[in-house]
Chain A
Amino acid sequence: MSTSQSKRRISNGAAFMIAVFVPITIFLIVQLFSDPAVFLTTILKSLAMGSTYAIIALGFVLIFKATEVVNFSQGALAMIGALFISFLVADETIPIVPWWSEGNLVPIRNPIYDLGLPSWMAWGLSFIVALFFAALIGLFLERVAIRPMIGQPLFSVAVITLGLEISLRVLANDSAKLKLRNTNTPWSGKGFNIGDNFLYWSFFAAMIAAAISVVAVFLFYRSKLGIAMRAVARDQEAAMAQGIPIGRVFAIAWGAGAALAAVGGLFATEPPIKQTGAVDAETSLVAFRALPAVILGGLDSVQGAILGGLIVGSAEIFAGQYLSGYTSVLGAGYPLVIPYVVMIIGLIVKPYGLFGTEEIRRV
C-alpha cells in the first residue's frame, strides 16, 4: 500500500474520530451540569483506573520494546508481585514457607520491621524489597524460558509466555487460595467524601504511582543501559555488533517489566478495580483487561501505553457509570468488554495503534 493511501486513511480516521467524539463530549457536558459531584468522582475513578492500566501496559511495552515479545504472563507476574507485597509488607513476613519444618508453619518475620526505623520508612523499604523480589522472578523467567529462544519465531516465544502464565498462575493461586491476602497499604480503605461520594486515597495513589513509573521509564531510556535497550529494539544484530550485551538487556527489561507488573498488581487489589484490598484469583486477570490499552496505544510506545490506558480505563468507567440503565440491552457485565470494543474500533482506524511504529514492508 502506498503512502498516499495511508495518508488518506488517517484523514478518514480523523473524520471517524469526530463522528464518535462529538456526541460523546456533548453527552458528558450534559452530565457534568446535571450532577457535578458524580461527574467529578467518575473522572477521578477513571483516571485511577486508567493509571493502573497504564502501569500494567508500561510493563508490556518495556518487555516488548527490548525483546519483541508480548508477555502474556504479565498477569501472573502482577499477582505474584502483589503476593510479595502482601507477604513482606502486610504480613511483615518473608515469603518462604518453611515446609521442611515438619508441620510447624511459622513464617519467618521480615527483619526490616525489627530495625527500629520509623514505620513509613520500614513500609517503603519493604515495598521496594518486594518489588525487587518480583524483579528477580522476572529475571529468572527470562533466563530460563526466554533466553534460549533468541532467534526463534516470535510467536513461539509468545506461546512460551502463555505456558508461563498457566504454571505461574496456579502456583500463585495455590499460595493465596485459602485466604484473601491483604495488601494493606497505608491508604487502604481510607478516603474522604465529596457529597455522598466517597473518594479513596487509592485513586490518587494509583495516579501518583503511574506518574512515577512513567518518569522512571523515561529516565531509564535516557541512561546508558536504556540507550542500549533502544538500540536492541531498533536492530538486534546491529546492537550486538556494537558490543551491546543483548542477554543482559533482555534480562533487565524482564526484571523491570515484572516490577511494574507488581505495582500494577498492587493497584489491581484496590479501588476502583477491587473493593477488598486483597489479592485473590482474579488479580491476575488485570493483565488481560489492560491488554487492549497496550494494543490501542501501540505495542512499542511508552506514550501509547499511557494514553491507551487512560482511554480504555475512562471508557470502561464512564460506560459503567452512565450506561447502567441499558444493562438489559448491553448484557450483564458489559463494562468488561468495553476495552476490547474500544480497541477494535481504534484498530480499524489505526492498525498499529495510536503511537505504534508501522512495520516497513519490503518486497
Chain B
Amino acid sequence: MKKVTKGFAPLVALALVAAACGGDDAADESADAPAAAEEPADEPAAADEPADEPAAADEPADEPADEPAELLFDYGVSDDTIRIGLNADLSGPFASLVSQIVEGQEVYFEMVNEMGGVAGREVELVILDNAYDVPTHLANYEEFRLESEEGVVFFTQSTGSPHTAATVDALAEDNLLAIPLTWYSGWADPDLGANVVEINATYCVESMNGVQYLAETFDAETIAIVSLAGEYGQDGAQGAKLAAEALGLEIVYDGEGAIAGGDQTPIVTELVAAQPDIVWMTTTPTTFAEIFGGSVAQGLQAQWSGNSPTYSYLLLNTALADALSAYYTFSTYTALWGANDSEGMQLVISEMQKRRPDAIFSDNYIRGFLEAMTAHQILMAAADAGDITRAGILEAFQSAEIDFMGLAPNQTWAGDPNDYIVRETYLYDVDASIFTPDATVSDADGSTGSVLAAGPYAGSLAEGFTYEGPCFVAG
C-alpha cells in the first residue's frame, strides 16, 4: 500500500484543470510555478515524509471558494481525504503494463492534489496487488469495500476480466464503480456491467474500424481472423467477422477462439495454407509474435493488424522488428505519446517529465491519465452536486461527460448504449527505425515506433453499428 504525496509545492498554472477544480487564485500562484518545476527530483522524497505533516491538510482549506457548505459523504471519505482504490496486477503477468498505468494515475493525482484536491480533500490512492489471481482480487476487494473511512469510493483500476466479473455483484451491492482494464463490449450491457466504467471503444468496434481501414488501404479481398478463446478474443473476432461480411471480404480462415498458449504451429500452418490478404488477430503480444513470426517465415505476405493489446511496441526490440515495420498496422483506442498536440497530450508529457523524469518511455501512462481523469471528473461532478457518498458518485457517473482533452474521444454513459458507445479508434503505422528502447520520458526524441496513420478514425461500419448487446456473449 502506498500513499500518494501530499501537495507541498505551489500550484501549477494549468488553466483547464484549475478551472475544473474551482480554483480562483491560480493567477497568484502561477508566479511560483517555475520554482516548482526546477526541483522535480524532490517530489518523490515527499512521499516518505511523515503522514502527520500539517501543511497538506491546511493548504486546501482556503482553496475552493464556491464549495457547497454541506457536502454529503459516507465511506472512504474523511474531512481531508478521498480514498480511491486500485486492485491492480503488480506482480502477475501484466505487471509491467499495469505498473505504468498506476504510475500515470499517481502522477495525475499528485497534480490534482497540488491544485487543491477534490472538494477540498486530498485524493489518496490505495493500491493493492491482485497478482492476477481471482481469490486475491476478491480478498483485496473486502478491504476496499469496508463501510468506514478505511474503505474507498471508486476503483480506478480493476485489472483482469475474470477478476472484475467476479466482483460485479458486489460492486452493485456496494454502489461502487470500477474501471476495468478491458474493452469487452459486454460491459455496456446493464446486466453485466452496470457499475463497470468502461472507457474508450470496445474490442468489437475496434475490429470493425481496423478491418475496414486495412481493407480500404490495402485493397484486400480475403481475410483471416484468428483469436484467443474467451471474452477478449471472441469479442474482437466477432467484430472482424461483421466487418468482413459487410465489406464483402472472403474469410479464408476462421480461427475464432483457436489460440491458446504454447506452440502455435497449427495456426501458422492453417494461415499459410489460406494465403489471406489481411490477417486480423486478437491475442496477447507473445502469442501474436509466435504466429506472426512463424507465418512470415513461411512466406506469408499479408497485412496484419489486431485488437489492442495484441501488439506491444516491445516487440520492436526483437528479431521481428523489420517484419513488423513492413506488415503491421497498430490499432488502439487512444492517442499515443506525442501523436497529437492536444492539451491533454501536453499535460501528460509535461507532468510525466516534471514528476517522474527517469520513468521509462511508454504509452501506458496515457491510459493511467485517462482512468484518473474519468475518476476525477466524476468525483468533481459528484462534489458539485453536493454528494460524494458512494451512491452520489454512482449518480454523477450516470450523467457524467468526460473530457479527455484530446487524448481520446470524449465519453459519457448517459442514456441508451447506442447513443454513447465510442466509435472512434486510432491506427498507427509501425516504424522500427525510430523506436528508442532505452529512452525515458524526458527524452525529446523518445518514440515507441508508432506513427499516426488515422485517428480518431470511425469507419462507416462502426458509425452505422447498432448496439444490441455484446457482440460475443460469454458464459
| Chains A, B in direct contact (C-beta < 8 Å) | yes
Task: Note all chain A residues with C-beta closer than 8 A to B266.
Answer: 320-321, 323-324, 327, 334-335
The CA-CA distance from A276 to B321 in the complex, in Å, is 9
Contact between chains at B260 and A333 (CB < 8 Å): yes
Asked whether A275 and B297 contact (CB < 8 A) given A103-B358, A178-B360, A321-B265, the answer is yes
Complex-state Cα separation, A196 to B295, whole angstroms:
11
A105-144 residues at the B interface, CB under 8 angstroms: none
Q: Of the candidates A177, A277, A317, A324, which one forms a contact with B319 in the assembled complex, judged by CB atoms under 8 Å apart? A: A277
A200's closest neighbor in chain B, by CB? B297
**In A196-241, which residues have CB < 8 Å from any B CB?**
196-198, 200
Q: Is the CB of B319 within 8 A of A180?
A: no
Asked if A336 and B263 sit within 8 Å, CB to CB, the answer is yes
**A-B contact number at CB 8 A:** 109
State whether the Cβ of B50 lies closer than 8 Å to any Cβ in chain A.
Answer: no
List the B residue with the shortest CB-CB distance to A196. Answer: B299
Contact A180 B299 (CB under 8 A): no
Q: Decide yes or no whether A170 CB sits under 8 A from chain B.
A: yes
B269 touches A180 (CB 8 A): no
**Range for the number of chain A residues in contact with chain B:** 35 or more
Cβ 8 A contact of A320, one of B261, B269, B437: B269
Q: Could you tell me the distance between the alpha carbons of A321 and B228 in the complex, rounded to whole angstroms? A: 19
Cβ of B267 under 8 Å from chain A: yes
CB distance from B268 to the nearest CB of A (A): 8
A241 → B minimal CB distance (Å)? 48
Contact with A along B205-229 (1 / 0, CB 8 A): 0000000000000000000000011
Contact pattern, A 157-177, Cβ under 8 Å of B = 1, otherwise 0: 000000000000010010001
A117 to B302, CA, bound (A): 43
B138 at the interface (CB under 8 A from A): no
| Among A16-24, A25-33, A252-260, A278-286, the stretch in contact with B | A278-286
Q: Which of B285-306 contact A (CB under 8 A)?
A: 286, 289-290, 292-294, 297-299
Q: Taking the complex as formed, is A363 at the interface, i.e. its CB lies under 8 A from any CB of chain B? A: no
Task: For B260, give its contact among A197, A323, A336 (CB under 8 Å).
Answer: A336
- Say yes or no: A320 contacts B320, CB within 8 Å: no
CB of B320 within 8 A of CB of A275, answer yes
- Complex Cα gap A178–B317 (Å): 11
8 Å CB contact of B263 from A178, A189, A198, A335 = A335
How distant is A169 from chain B, measured CB to nearest CB, in Å? 11
- Neighbour of B317 across the interface among A180, A196, A289, CB < 8 A: A180
- In the bound assembly, the distance between CA atoms of A177 and B257 in angstroms comes to 27
CB of B259 within 8 A of chain A? yes
Chain A binding surface SS class: mixed
Distance in Å: Cβ of A323 to nearest Cβ of chain B:
7
Q: Which residues of A contact B314 (CB under 8 A)?
A: 179-180
CB contacts (< 8 Å) of A327 on chain B: these are 255, 258, 266, 270
Interface range on chain B: under 10, 10 to 19, 20 to 34, or 35 or more? 35 or more
Q: Which residue, of B93, B229, B298, has the highest number of chain A Cβ atoms within 10 A?
A: B298
Partner of B265 from A182, A200, A335 at Cβ < 8 Å:
A335
Q: How far is the CA of A181 from the CA of B320 in the complex (A)?
A: 13
Q: Are A316 and B263 in contact (CB under 8 A)?
A: yes
**Is residue B315 contacting chain A, with contact meaning CB distance below 8 A?**
yes
**Chain A residues whose CB sits within 8 angstroms of the CB of B270 once the complex forms:** 324-325, 327
Closest residue of chain B to A202, judged by CB?
B319
Q: A9 at interface (Cβ–Cβ under 8 A)?
A: no
Q: State A323–B358 Cα separation when bound (angstroms).
A: 50
Most buried by B among A277, A316, A324, A325: A324
Given contacts A193-B299, A275-B290, A276-B293, contact A281 B93 (CB under 8 A): yes
Interface bits A264-298 vs B (CB < 8 Å: 1, else 0): 00000001111111101110000001000000000
**Contact A198/B261 with A276-B318, A321-B269 known, Cβ cut-off 8 Å:** no
- CA–CA, A323 and B95, complex, Å: 35
Q: Taking the nearest CB of chain B, how far is it from the CB of A206, in angstroms?
A: 15
Taking CB atoms and an 8 Å cut-off, the chain B residues in 245-285 that contact chain A are 255, 257-267, 269-270, 272
B96 within 8 A of A: yes
Contacts of B259 in A (CB 8 A): 332-333
| Nearest chain B CB to A255 CB, angstrom units | 30
Q: How far is the CB of A51 from chain B (nearest CB, A)?
A: 15
Residues on the B chain within 8 Å of A336, using CB = 260-263
A72 to B319, CA, bound (A): 30
Decide yes or no whether B91 CB sits under 8 A from chain A: yes
A289 contacts across to B, CB distance below 8 A:
262
Complex alpha-carbon distance, A325 and B255, angstroms: 11
A331 proximal to B (CB < 8 A): yes
By Cβ-Cβ distance, the 4 closest A-B pairs, closest first, are A333-B260, A275-B293, A320-B265, A336-B262
Given contacts A180-B318, A271-B293, A278-B317, 4 further A-B contacts (CB under 8 A): A197-B299, A276-B286, A320-B265, A324-B267
Interface residues of B (CB under 8 A from A): 91, 93, 95-96, 228-229, 255, 257-267, 269-270, 272, 286, 289-290, 292-294, 297-299, 314-315, 317-320, 358, 360, 437
**Could you list some 30 contacts between A and B, CB below 8 A?**
A177-B95, A178-B96, A178-B360, A179-B317, A180-B318, A182-B319, A188-B319, A193-B299, A197-B299, A271-B297, A272-B265, A274-B290, A275-B289, A276-B318, A277-B318, A278-B317, A280-B286, A281-B93, A282-B286, A320-B266, A321-B266, A324-B265, A324-B269, A325-B270, A327-B255, A327-B266, A331-B260, A332-B257, A333-B262, A336-B260
